[in-house]
């Protein structure tokens, strides 16, 4: 990894990339034009070999220094005094990128339910247009977990030799029935909201709260809840876990919308790097990048066997495992282990 740039202050910039040429989606539908909100921090090296591109998860945004503070920031593993760090809000998300509440240029009104279905492949293609806009011929590392990890897999296939390293945390090469089932249950909760179907920004808000509660159960391991939400007194109602899940539901509904949640969870379900490419094993075998696939031993959503599968089928794959009681969310929590795993990976690969 590169040495620090002397006397350079690593200020973060927030920008909007507007793509007027639009995007032809995997479904064949044309998104006439779109925008991606993104942040950059740090400075490009003269030969542009220090680019770290970070991908967020389902309800994340383009501010990794906030939600991944143990890995991103000055004196952290991904340090803007050494790296040029890019993070874009995924297409379909509601933090500045084109999404269902954006204006449909054909009608002048918000898309609402007419927003086209997206796949992780579409997301990777939109990000590649941003890469070209920034002027990056290649990328040193793309890293992401969960939905972000799925997009990393797709983008790694697309980039080929233009990507040196892909780091995929708690993710997979193809969405499993288990994950699709959890997402479908969450969308059923949204659809059960009496406001869903109405053309208003807060449609499905109560359903989104219920969806988030369902999701939270899959993001953690049962042991986590025993420790944090276990009862010390005998009860028949008003349990800690009930209050916790309701709080988490309201918290998300205050910052997100049901439309984006619907579209992004559908994109997660669509994920299959092998679609149209001869299957997952064949597609993974065509990725030349050095790939680090990280599983979490207590993850009940993206089980570690799925992470191991990626490392076994790419030509240059490494598998490492995080040991944690926090389940799927461990990739956002276990900074000490992640720092050690990343450092070892780069040392082993002399980069």
Computed over every residue of the chain, the mean pLDDT equals 95
Domain match, 239 and 276 both: no
Structure token digits, residue 199: 């053309």
Band (10; pLDDT cuts 50, 70, 90): low
Domain match, 317 and 329 both: yes
Active site residue 79: no
Catalytic residue among 193, 270, 328, 329: 328
Domain match, 211 and 142 both: no
Q: What is the C-alpha separation between 56 and 69, in angstroms, rounded?
A: 13
Domain match, 118 and 190 both: no
Domain match, 262 and 279 both: no
- Whether 7 maps to a domain, the answer reads no
Q: What is the C-alpha separation between 293 and 274, in angstroms, rounded?
A: 17
- Whether 5 maps to a domain, the answer reads no
Q: What is the C-alpha separation between 309 and 285, in angstroms, rounded?
A: 11
Domain termination site, one of 216, 236, 267: 267
Active site residue 328: yes
Looking at residue 7, what is its pLDDT? 41
Domain holding 291, by residue range, is 12-175+272-348
* % pLDDT > 70, the chain: 97
Structure token digits, residue 317: 């794959």
- Whether 1 maps to a domain, the answer reads no
Say if strands 139-145 and 51-55 run parallel, antiparallel, or are unpaired: parallel
Looking at residue 5, what is its pLDDT? 46
Residue that wins the pLDDT comparison between 176 and 225: 176
Domain match, 193 and 133 both: no
Instruction: Assess whether pLDDT exceeds 60 at residue 25.
Output: yes
Active site residue 299: yes
Catalytic residue among 79, 122, 299, 329: 299
- Whether 56 maps to a domain, the answer reads yes
Instruction: Assess whether pLDDT exceeds 70 at residue 8.
Output: no
List, for residues 36-91, the tens digit of each pLDDT value.
Answer: 999 999 999 999 999 999 999 999 999 999 999 999 999 999 999 999 999 999 99
Question: What's the first-to-final CA gap in the chain, in angstroms?
Answer: 6
CB-count exposure of residue 71 (10 Å: 0-12, 13-18, 19+): buried
- Whether 3 maps to a domain, the answer reads no
Q: Residue 103 forms beta bridges with which residues? A: 110
Domain termination site, one of 224, 250, 267: 267
21 to 123, 125, 233: CA distances (angstroms): 16, 13, 62
Q: What is the C-alpha separation between 271 and 55, in angstroms, rounded?
A: 15
Q: What is the C-alpha separation between 169 and 181, in angstroms, rounded?
A: 21
User: For the chain, what is the domain count?
Assistant: 2
Domain termination site, one of 267, 294, 320: 267
- Whether 308 maps to a domain, the answer reads yes
- Whether 248 maps to a domain, the answer reads yes
Catalytic residue among 146, 218, 265, 311: 146
List, for residues 81-129, the tens digit of each pLDDT value.
Answer: 999 999 999 999 999 999 999 999 999 999 999 999 999 999 999 999 9
Instruction: Assess whether pLDDT exceeds 80 at residue 6.
Output: no
Domain match, 91 and 219 both: no
Domain match, 88 and 41 both: yes
The CATH code of the domain that includes 295 is 3.40.50.1820
Q: What is the C-alpha separation between 13 and 9, in angstroms, rounded?
A: 12
List, for residues 255-297, the tens digit of each pLDDT value.
Answer: 999 999 999 999 999 999 999 999 999 999 999 999 999 999 9
Q: Is 14 helix (H, G, I), strand (E, B) or coil?
A: strand
The CATH code of the domain that includes 186 is 1.10.1740.110
- Whether 2 maps to a domain, the answer reads no
Domain match, 61 and 103 both: yes
| Full-model pTM | 0.95
Instruction: Assess whether pLDDT exceeds 70 at residue 340.
Output: yes
Domain match, 158 and 295 both: yes
Looking at residue 351, what is its pLDDT? 74
Nearest to 228 by CA among 250, 247, 210: 247
Length of the chain: 351
Domain match, 215 and 286 both: no
Domain match, 156 and 208 both: no
Half-sphere exposure of 310 (CA within 13 A, CB side): 36
């Amino acid at each position: 990894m590169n040495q620090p740039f002397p006397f350079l202050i690593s200020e973060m910039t927030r920008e909007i990339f507007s793509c007027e040429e639009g995007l032809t989606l995997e479904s064949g539908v044309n998104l006439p034009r779109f925008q991606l909100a993104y942040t950059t921090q740090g400075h490009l090296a003269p030969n542009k070999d220090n680019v770290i591109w970070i991908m967020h998860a389902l309800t994340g945004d383009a501010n990794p220094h906030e939600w991944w503070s143990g890995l991103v920031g000055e004196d952290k593993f991904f340090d803007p005094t050494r790296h040029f760090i890019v993070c874009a809000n995924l297409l379909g998300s509601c933090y500045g990128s084109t999404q269902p509440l954006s204006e449909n240029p054909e009608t002048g009104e918000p898309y609402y339910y007419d927003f086209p279905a997206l796949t992780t492949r579409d997301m990777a293609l939109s990000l590649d247009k941003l890469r070209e806009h920034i002027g990056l011929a290649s990328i040193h590392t793309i890293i992401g977990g969960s939905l972000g990890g799925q997009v990393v897999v797709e983008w790694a296939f697309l980039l080929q030799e233009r990507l040196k390293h892909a780091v995929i945390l708690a993710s997979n090469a193809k969405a499993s029935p288990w994950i699709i089932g959890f997402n479908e249950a969450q969308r059923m909760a949204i659809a059960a909201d009496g406001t869903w179907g109405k053309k208003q920004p807060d449609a499905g808000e109560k359903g989104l709260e219920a969806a988030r509660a369902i999701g939270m159960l899959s993001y953690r391991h049962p042991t986590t809840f025993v420790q944090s939400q276990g009862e010390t007194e005998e009860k028949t109602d008003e349990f800690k876990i009930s209050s916790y899940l309701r709080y988490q539901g309201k918290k998300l509904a205050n910052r997100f919308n049901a439309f984006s949640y619907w579209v992004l969870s559908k994109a997660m379900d669509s994920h299959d790097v092998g679609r149209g490419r001869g299957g997952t094993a064949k597609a993974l075998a065509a990725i030349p990048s050095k790939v680090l696939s990280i599983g979490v031993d207590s993850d009940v959503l993206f089980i570690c066997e799925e992470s191991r599968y990626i490392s076994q089928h790419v030509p240059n794959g490494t598998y490492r495992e995080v040991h944690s009681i926090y389940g799927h969310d461990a990739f956002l929590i276990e900074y000490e282990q992640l720092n050690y795993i990343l450092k070892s990976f780069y040392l082993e690969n002399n980069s």
